């Protein structure tokens, strides 16, 4: 028996990084898994790797910032798998590190649309199916930057709002057997991190070394470090945990 056997899961942003690791681990532990993303090539690659490993998965092209696409895909997913128990709101994009007064309004809107409104849309359209399935678990991927201050105000604000939405939804849906928790990764080596590091004066390897020195456990995180936290929150092992923020950062936030 896998740790989430018999459950159906949706992972947004499942084509890369933390979402890819999460989709693979949930499927390995028995969940029938829907990978939702806008990167079709990688989304289909992840699904075929899950199937090759003996798991059950499907890919749905969905921009989480577009309400109609989310509504349609989630209806299809529910029809295909017949139930829904786990939603991982992971799709996210970074903003640029620049002061608020220099942040273009278009950038503010885009980051908020994907990170925050995307989480809202996916929750809005998943909850009715989770209720029909008898309850479940929603995991919202925030960041340690949703708790701390820093030089990227739009990203940090979107992640702080996700933390708050999680706690409000945890209260609202507790009596209906849906748990909501947020996960707060620290510095994790993923394509998103590498894209940002390439542009920095230190480059990718230099950035990994510099970041690692600031982390008590002495290394940056892997996508699997985060995915195992999400797996715990998705499974019935965490059935008494709701409204919690799970910080997975090698101790970064405590120093
Ligand atoms: N990497 C880190 O250090 C780090 C730290 C803290 C939090 N996070 C958060 O973890 C999550 C995953 O990040 P990652 O590092 O794995 O990034 P990533 O870029 O590797 O993966 C993000 C995925 O989201 C998809 N995506 C982007 N916009 C989308 C949209 N509109 N609709 C659907 N899918 C979309 C991308 O195509 C990609 O597959 C994000 O929410 C990010 O903010 C990452």
Q: How confident is the model at residue 195 (pLDDT cuts 50, 70, 90)?
A: confident
Give the model confidence (pLDDT) of 39-50 as tens digits.
999 999 999 999
Strand pairing of 86-89 and 57-61?
Answer: unpaired
The C-alpha atoms of residue 164 and residue 8 are separated, in whole angstroms, by: 26
- In 3D space, the residue among 110, 6, 8, 129 whose CA is nearest the CA of residue 64 turns out to be 110
Domain 8-186+222-254: assigned CATH number: 3.40.50.720
Does 94 score more than 90 pLDDT?
yes
Determine the distance separating the centroid of ligand 1 and the alpha carbon of 13, expressed in angstroms: 6
Ligand 1 pocket test, pick from 91, 165, 197, 250 with the greatest ligand atom count within 8 Å of Cβ, gives: 91
As to burial, measured by CB atoms within 10 angstroms (0-12 exposed, 13-18 middle, 19+ buried), residue 226 is buried
HSE-CB for 64 with a 13 A CA cutoff: 32
Give the DSSP letter of residue 100.
G
Domain map (residue ranges) of the chain: 8-186+222-254
Give the model confidence (pLDDT) of 115-164 as tens digits.
999 999 999 999 999 999 999 999 999 999 999 999 999 999 999 999 99
- Please say if 155 is a catalytic residue: yes
Three-state DSSP state, 57: strand
CB 223 within 8 A of CB 46: no
């Amino acid at each position: 028996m896998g740790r989430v056997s018999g459950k159906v899961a949706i992972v947004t942003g499942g084509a890369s990084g933390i979402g890819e690791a999460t989709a693979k681990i949930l499927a390995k532990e028995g969940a029938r898994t829907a990978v939702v993303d806008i990167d079709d090539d990688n989304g289909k690659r992840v699904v075929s790797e899950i199937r090759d490993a003996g798991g059950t998965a499907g890919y749905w092209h969905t921009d989480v910032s577009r309400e109609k696409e989310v509504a349609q895909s989630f209806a299809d997913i529910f029809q295909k798998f017949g139930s829904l128990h786990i939603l991982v709101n992971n799709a996210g994009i970074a903003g640029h590190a620049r002061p608020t007064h220099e942040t273009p309004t278009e950038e503010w809107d885009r980051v908020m649309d994907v990170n925050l409104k995307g989480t809202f849309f996916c929750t809005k359209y998943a909850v009715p199916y989770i209720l029909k399935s008898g309850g479940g678990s929603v995991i919202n991927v925030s960041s340690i930057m949703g708790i701390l201050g820093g030089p990227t105000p739009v990203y940090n604000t979107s992640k702080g709002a996700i933390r708050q939405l999680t706690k409000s939804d945890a209260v609202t849906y507790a009596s209906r057997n849906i748990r909501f928790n947020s996960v707060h990764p620290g510095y994790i080596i993923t394509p998103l991190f590498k894209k940002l590091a390439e542009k920095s004066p230190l480059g990718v390897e230099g950035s990994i070394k510099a970041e690692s020195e600031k982390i008590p456990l002495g290394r940056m995180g892997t996508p699997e470090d985060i995915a195992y936290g999400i797996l715990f929150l998705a499974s019935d092992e965490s059935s008494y945990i709701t409204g919690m923020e799970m910080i997975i950062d090698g101790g970064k936030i405590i120093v």
